[in-house]
Amino acid sequence: MADDPKSLLGLLNGIAKRTYYHEEGITNEFLKSELYPDVQEEDFERLITKCTALMKNMVSADMDLNQSEAFLTAQMNKKEHGITEEQAAVFRKFWKSHKNKIHESIIIHTTWNNSLKQVSWRIDLKSQARHLDQINTPTAIMELQVGKNGDETEKKL
């Protein structure tokens, strides 16, 4: 992998934008020209493949910070195709700032039907009534707000 932390962080951001945030204009050629213009094409493709695989492992397991730390430590201890401590630090920094955004993006792009947005509830007791058996009868009232992810319009049930 390349050694410059800023370039590696930029590469991880580019891969995330393309893969999880669905930005169209980010291609391998664009990333190479902006971040690694002096690296051979074959080495850059290997770097993209390695970073994408590591990121997909972290995303698919929905790793918290402790799990990502253990995962990156295991990657550093690999004999072949491992990562350096500096590269692991870049991955940690990236994951700390992007974990929640990537998670939300995946949820938005994989939910097709309506989902529950908010629940409100209360319990009413009658304190006055014409008949004695109606007093202190509890009544539950629930309000469910349902809507599509990304939509501002909501349905109240």
Q: pLDDT digits over 10-46, tens only?
A: 999 999 999 999 898 899 999 999 999 998 999 999 9
Block residue for tokens 């509830």: 121
Q: Tell me: do 78 and 125 sit in the same domain.
A: no
Q: Tell me: do 100 and 131 sit in the same domain.
A: no
Q: Tell me: do 50 and 86 sit in the same domain.
A: yes
Q: How far is CA 72 from CA 83, 85, 96, 130, 155, in A?
A: 8, 9, 13, 70, 44
What is the number of structural domains in the chain?
A: 2
Q: Are 83 and 72 in contact (CB under 8 A)?
A: yes
Q: Tell me: do 106 and 120 sit in the same domain.
A: no
pLDDT band for 150, please (50, 70, 90 cuts): low
The more confident residue out of 151 and 1 is 151
Torsion of CA 37, 38, 39, 45, to 10 degrees: 20
10-19, 46-55, 119-128: segment of lowest average pLDDT: 119-128
Which of 124, 121, 114, 122 has its CA nearest to residue 154?
114
Q: Tell me: do 76 and 150 sit in the same domain.
A: no
| Bridge partner residues of 144 (DSSP) | 119
Q: Tell me: do 52 and 81 sit in the same domain.
A: yes
Q: Tell me: do 50 and 24 sit in the same domain.
A: yes
Q: Tell me: do 55 and 89 sit in the same domain.
A: yes
Q: How far is CA 157 from CA 74, 123, 125, 149, 151, in A?
A: 49, 17, 22, 17, 17
Residue range(s) defining the domain that contains residue 121: 115-156
Q: Tell me: do 82 and 137 sit in the same domain.
A: no
Q: Tell me: do 51 and 124 sit in the same domain.
A: no
